[in-house]
Structures are given as C-alpha cells and as structure tokens.
Copies of this chain bind each other. A is one copy, B any other.
C-alpha cells in the first residue's frame, strides 16, 4: 500500500516514471517498411537479462500483449484524419491508434514464435528497431476481448 491520498487531486496527476524492461530488435533495413510489412516479419524482444525468470510459462504459440514506447513519435493533435487520409472525417486521438498521442505508448497483441534465454522472437509486432519495451502480459480474453469484459445481453 502506498501513501496515495485519494483526497488529493494532485496525486492523480503526478508524473509517472517508467524504466524499460527491454527493447525491440529488428533486421537491418526493416525501418523502411510499413506497419503491415513490419507485422509480417519476425521481430525480437530483448529483455533485460535480470528479468529473464519473468518469462516462465511463455512458449511458442503464446499470445502476448506488448507495451512499448513510440520513441520516435513527437507531439500530437487532439483530432486527426485517420491514417492521415484527409477524405476521412476527423476523429479524436483517443478514437484512433496513431503513435502521435499524449502518452505515446503502443499496445499490440503478438504471438511468441521462440524463447531463447532473455530473447522472445515474435510475429505480428509493428514496433521499429530500438523501441523501448515497457511490459509484456499474457493475452487474456477477460481483459482483452470486448465481449467478455462485462455481461452480454444479446
């Protein structure tokens, strides 16, 4: 239990400091690729070796949610044309997945292909080479699939 004081609105808006647990490593030249092309190629998550024991239970075929920092993103607009297409109506930054956002954190579900020591090889990751990784979580329908997060009335 921390000394959080729910009476103090200030404590809700204090800066939060995170330390990357690892980074994304890609083959040379991958940085020229589109998001779709990045997802189609394997990537490696290189974990801080001190955290390797935290991978117990992840194996080829496991689906994981990867949180990483959009380290090359700078600034944001509150409303954007989705995918930069001016023919599409404006949407709020919280209704799109653009990297340009107040806190530029990516959330992407990927599949583990291989685990070797502190390195996870994954499929489906759109992160650029060198992206700091903030967390890895097993994918769980309870948290990640809309229809199971609350009672359905259909």
Size of the chain A interface, CB-CB below 8 angstroms: 74
Main secondary structure of the interface of A (DSSP, over half): mixed
**Minimum distance in angstroms from A150 CB to a CB of chain B:** 4
Please state if B138 and A94 are interface contacts (CB–CB under 8 Å). Answer: yes
Given the known inter-chain contacts A21-B102, A74-B1, please indicate yes or no for A134 contacting B91, CB distance below 8 A.
Answer: no
A42-68 vs B: 1/0 string, CB under 8 Å? Answer: 000000100101111110001111010
Give residues in A with beta carbon < 8 Å to B: 1-2, 4, 6, 9, 11-21, 23, 39-40, 48, 51, 53-58, 62-65, 67, 69, 71-72, 74, 78-79, 90-97, 101-103, 105, 107-111, 123-124, 129-130, 132, 134-140, 143-146, 149-151
